[in-house]
Amino acid sequence: MTAAAPRSDTVRPRSIRLACWFMLGIALTGLIHVVASVLELRRLDANEEALAKLAVRPEFSGVVAAAQGLRIAAIGALIVGAVAALLAPVTWALLRSAVRWARRAVLTLHFVLLGGVILLLAPDSTTGIKPYRDPMGSAANEDVAASLLAVPGYLAVHYAAEVVLLVLAAAVLVLSFRESTTEFLRSRWSDGDAQVWDMSPSLAKLRGERTAR
- Residues with Cβ within 8 Å of 190's Cβ and at least 6 positions away in sequence, in order, are none
Say if CB 31 and CB 193 are below 8 A apart: no
Per-residue pLDDT of the chain (213 residues; tens, 9 = 90+): 444 433 444 567 788 788 888 888 989 999 998 999 999 899 888 888 887 787 777 767 677 777 877 888 888 888 888 988 888 888 888 777 777 677 777 777 777 777 777 776 655 443 345 566 666 666 776 777 777 787 888 878 888 888 888 888 888 888 877 777 777 777 766 544 444 334 444 444 544 554 555
Distance CA 179, CA 171 (A): 15
Helix (H) or strand (E) holding 164: helix 154-176
**In the chain, what are the domain boundaries?**
14-212
Handedness of CA 202, 208, 210, 213 (dihedral sign): negative
Amino acid identity, position 49: E
The pLDDT value recorded for residue 137 is: 67
The pLDDT value recorded for residue 167 is: 87
Say if CB 99 and CB 194 are below 8 A apart: yes
The pLDDT value recorded for residue 190 is: 55
Long-range contacts of 118-125 (CB under 8 A, 24+ apart): 118/166, 119/76, 120/73, 120/76, 120/77, 120/80, 120/162, 121/159, 121/162, 121/163, 121/166
- Residues with Cβ within 8 Å of 167's Cβ and at least 6 positions away in sequence, in order, are none
Say if CB 142 and CB 133 are below 8 A apart: yes
